[in-house]
Amino acid sequence: TQLLEQSPQFLSIQEGENLTVYCNSSSVFSSLQWYRQEPGEGPVLLVTVVTGGEVKKLKRLTFQFGDARKDSSLHITAAQPGDTGLYLCAGRPSDSNYQLIWGAGTKLIIKP
């Protein structure tokens, strides 16, 4: 069974600080996606990384896919209260073109 473990499960920091959340697996994924979910809403896709070692930037968010395509990280610079939410990673197994394996999420709170 393929699993994705996210850490930390919960993070509460002050506005302006930097943070990194991790998504790890022992399995290889053909791609990995990061989503943000607001309370009472569905997940919204932030980014898809496909190539091992790939780095993508979205304003203050930096996403990295591990060289072996088994892990990924999300780094937020100068966090703002608007970044508060649940961040989920989801990996696409190599043998499927539609299945997604989901992590349990990192609940992020940015205090003003």
Partner 1 sequence: NAGVMQNPRHLVRRRGQEARLRCSPMKGHSHVYWYRQLPEEGLKFMVYLQKENIIDESGMPKERFSAEFPKEGPSILRIQQVVRGDSAAYFCASSPGLAQDEQFFGPGTRLTVL
Cα Rg for the chain, rounded, in angstroms? 13
Q: Is 32 exposed, middle or buried (0-12, 13-18, 19+ CB in 10 A)?
A: buried
CA distance 18 to 28: 28
| Nearest to partner 1 of 33, 64 (CB atom) | 33
| Nearest to partner 1 of 9, 80 (CB atom) | 9
Binding mask 49-88 for partner 1 (x = CB under 8 A): ---------------------------------------x
| Nearest to partner 1 of 42, 112 (CB atom) | 42
Residue 77: CB minimum distance to partner 1, A: 25
- Say if residue 8 is preceded by a cis peptide, omega within 30 of 0: yes
CA distance 95 to 80: 38
Q: Which chain residues interact with partner 1 by CB under 8 A?
A: 4, 6, 9, 40-45, 48, 88, 90, 92, 97-100, 102-105
